[in-house]
Structure 1
Amino acid sequence: MSKRVVNILVPLISIVLGLIIGAIVMLISGFNPVDGYIALWNGVFGSSYNMGETVRQITPYVFAGLAVAFAFRTGLFNIGVEGQLIVGWLAAAYVGSAFDLPKIIHLPLALLAAAAAGALWAFIPGLLKAKLQVHEVIVTIMMNYIALHVANATISALSDGGDKTEKIHDSASLRSPFFESLTDYSRLHWGFLIALIAVLIMWFILEKTTQGYELKSVGFNQNASEYAGMNVSKNIILAMVISGAFAGLGGAMEGLGTFGNITKMTGFTGIGFDGIAVALLGANQPFGVLLGAILFGGLKNGGLNMPNEAGIPVEIVSIVIALIIFFVASGYIIRVGLDRLSKKKKEGK
């Protein structure tokens, strides 16, 4: 069995196992798993509105997954995607509401502001890692809380003590009447196209550029990379900055597309943390992240229909998602099992 086939089979088997165990959990809890999964399916594909909302849900997950995956591919653990996404959301909402410019200028400017804010937030742990060897996991986790409270304080200041910023101008919005009419007034927006472009950008950087080769080399072995003449510190910082830019754009999808502003948060959005699971599902590959985000977003959005149609608590969906992640994280065991099965078949011949 080829390595490529195994790489495809491992997440598929993990998903199937997660769904099977999820069905068992439903049965034990007194619910009909068939009705539950039919409701889940209808929540994703049951109407044009549901399909639009599902794609809308998938969009920020793509960016969060790319942010985590990019850092992982370069040997770093960016657990601060949540905070970087929040400051990106704040920057996009501010630029979108504070300026009134032509759309051809305003929308790109708001997107760039979000990417820059996320990049700046990730630059700090990158710098500390590169210069002082402070572990990025600790710093990025701490930066999440700082981002949350700084964002809330800034929202309060911008709104004169209110709990949300002003709505962005239409010139900065990703929403479109075309998508609204196509999907029965769902919140689907142009962000999904930007997400697809981001997937291609990550693939191009890592696979087709010299800089991407350096970033991956530093991630594999810093000492060997330094011996080869690569600037390790610069590459660590750059990797975190690019990762943060992806996360910031994920925030822009919410600020410029889904909500059109930013509201004070009592807790984290969860998108950044879910991005870790999306990256794991996608094996830290850009196109894999896209597939992981589709699965994750579909489960999240489709699961909202389970209580209404099948009377199953939405917590069951969280259990199914957690089980899938568990089996993906245990992919090594599945991989070993597939290898042994392949060897037995060869020996049988």
Structure 2
Amino acid sequence: MSGSERGRVRGALDAAADRLLDATVLERVGIATASTALALLIGLVIAAVAGYDSVQFARQLLVGAFGSERAIARTLRGTTLFVLTGVAVAVAFRAGVFNIGVQGQFVVGGFATVVSIIWLASFVPAGTVGGVVLMILGTFVGVAAGGLYGALPGVMKAYGDANEIITTIMLNFIAIGLVGWLVSGPFGDPEATATRTRRLPESVELPQAVFGDPNLSIVGILVMLGVVGLVAVIMTRTRFGYDMVTSGYQDTAATYSGVDAKRMVISTMALSGMVAGLTGALFAIMIQGYYTDPSGIGNYGFDAIAVSLLAANNPIGVLPAGLLFGGLESAGSHVQINSDIPVQLIDGIVGLVVLFVAAPELFRMIAYRTGLGGDGE
């Protein structure tokens, strides 16, 4: 490639980077929404090419997500988990730290919650009050465990200059493998036919939501909304949130203004892990009632990356993004049971959404880091 050709390529990259770097939050959400619509349209075209009725497929998607009280409850259940894990990712990404380890922090938090509740149950009186106390204490343990597990790669990045993408990915596998071994061994229920811990006490139960789904609680929905609001306030209305963003993207300026950039990176990862741990605790108490092999509990922490990117890493924007993914998950279950359309098509649509949404946001973040764009030269 000649010098002039390289110059034209660089100029095109700079122009694209400038456009993305200067995009407002609304413009970024618009890009993500258009990307999602295009991914869904391509999914319907693929269904038609494969010989399926694309109109019927679209109808099944809508019915599976919102067509009945059961479907709505299923959608809201998934939405609750996707929103909370999406907020965990957004906290780190907004601060310029790539936390790819939310799945591991989610697993550690949920397992710690179950183990602590089972252990504390012998010290707490039975009944409703005792159950509430156990849920509060267990949730605090899960939040602390997720926060500590999130802080670990933060420490390695701050003081060892370790790449947080690599460390958080590896810590996912460590968490899944270690918890899987603990569930099948020392903490397993010998009387259970499946690999899982003992069940939580009967008093450890959240009140149901209006749809009567035993795996969906109004408390879970309120916790989701409360966390979204709290994190949004922290990120946009507090000095701590300002310092987080500054230290992540402009550590030199942060240090000059008196911010300990290393400590702030650790705090950012810890806060992200705390939200993930809270999600794991809610999942264990509201949905499972015990803990099982984490390799089969769902990829909420991994899908949360796409949820956060779809929302332009905005905690408030995570709400509709999480609703979309919750609806797709619910629709996938419905299609698999009530249709001859292969559920792999749903997985393919989700993959397209992830690809189309992530591409511009990842390019934007890379441009910011590498100095692409006229302003970065």
**TM-score, length basis structure 1:** 0.89
More displaced stretch, 89-98 vs 235-244: 89-98
SS in 1 for 2:199: coil
Take 2:145 and 2:294, find their aligned partners in 1: how far apart are those partners? Answer: 18
Aligned-pair CA distance for 1:186 = 4.5
- Give unpaired runs (5+ residues) of structure 1: 336-349
Deviation (angstroms), 1:250: 1.3
Match of 2:204 among 168, 172, 178: 172
2:167 matched residue in structure 1: 139
**Could you list the per-position Cα deviations for residues 119-155 of structure 1 after superposition, in whole angstroms to 9, with x for gaps in the alignment?**
1111111111111111111111111111112212222
How far 1:221 moved relative to its partner?
0.7
**Residue 83 of structure 1, CA deviation:** 0.7
1:345 alignment partner in structure 2: none
Q: Would the alpha carbon gap of residues 171 and 20 (structure 1) be closer, same or farther in structure 2, given more than 3 Å must change?
A: same
**CA distance change for structure 1 residues 23 and 213 in 2, over 3 Å: closer, same or farther?**
same
Q: Are the counterparts in 1 of residues 109 and 277 from structure 2 also a CA contact under 8 Å?
A: yes
Offset, 1:217: 0.5
Q: Do structure 1's residue 14 and structure 2's residue 35 form an aligned pair?
A: yes
How far apart, CA to CA, are the structure 1 residues paired with 2:106 and 2:55? 36
Q: How many Å separate the matches in 2 of 1:8 and 1:68? A: 17
CA contact (8 A) 2:101 2:172 kept: yes
Q: Distance in 1 between matches of 2:29 and 2:179?
A: 40
Counterpart for residue 302 of structure 2: 273
Number of residue-to-residue matches in the alignment: 331
Q: Residue type of the partner of 2:172? A: N
Amino acid paired to 1:325: V
CA apart distance, 1:298: 0.6
Alpha-carbon distance between aligned partners in 2 of 1:312 and 1:51, rounded to the nearest angstrom:
21
- CA distance in 1: counterparts of 2:353 and 2:63, whole angstroms: 20
- The SS at the match of 2:99 is coil
Normalised by the length of structure 2, the TM-score is 0.83
Q: CA deviation at 1:244?
A: 0.3
Distance in 2, matches of 1:127 and 1:65, equals 22
8 Å CA contact retained: 2:64, 2:330: yes
- The answer to whether the 8 Å contact 1:88/1:117 transfers is yes
User: Who is 1:92 aligned against?
Assistant: 113
Report what 1:116 is aligned to: 144
Q: Which residue of 1 aligns with 2:215?
A: 187
Match of residue 341 from structure 2: 312
Equivalence for 1:341:
none
Q: 1:4 Cα deviation (Å)?
A: 5.4
In structure 1, distance between residues paired with 2:225 and 2:237:
17
Q: CA deviation at 1:30?
A: 0.7
Percent identity, please. Answer: 33
CA RMSD of aligned residues (A): 2.2
Kept after mapping to 2: 8 A contact 1:65/1:276? yes
Q: Does residue 1:58 correspond to 2:79, yes or no?
A: yes
**Contact 2:187-2:197 at 8 Å conserved across structures:** yes
Cα offsets for 1:45-76 (capped at 9, x unmatched)? 12111111111111111121111110111110
Partner of 1:338: none
The CA deviation string for residues 147-175 of structure 1, in whole angstroms up to 9 with x for no partner, is 1122122222022666211111244333x
Q: Does 1:249 align with 2:270?
A: no
Structure 1 residues 3 and 254: alpha-carbon distance in aligned structure 2, compared to 1, 3 A threshold: closer
Q: Following the alignment from structure 1 to structure 2, what is the Cα–Cα distance between the partners of residues 76 and 4?
A: 19
**TM-superposed deviation, 1:332:** 7.0
What amino acid is aligned across from residue 211 of structure 2 in structure 1?
T
Distance 1:276 1:86 in 2: 16
Q: Secondary structure at the match of 1:158?
A: coil
Higher alpha-carbon deviation: 8-17 or 32-41: 8-17
* Residue type of the alignment partner of 2:236: E
CA distance in 2, matches of 1:160, 1:323: 40
State the Cα distance separating 1:272 from its structure 2 match.
0.8
Establish whether residue 215 from structure 1 lines up as the match of residue 244 from structure 2. Answer: yes
Q: Which residue of 1 aligns with 2:134?
A: 106
For the residue of structure 1 that corresponds to 2:326, the secondary structure is helix
TM-superposed deviation, 1:184: 4.4
Report the Cα offset of residue 280 of structure 1. 0.8
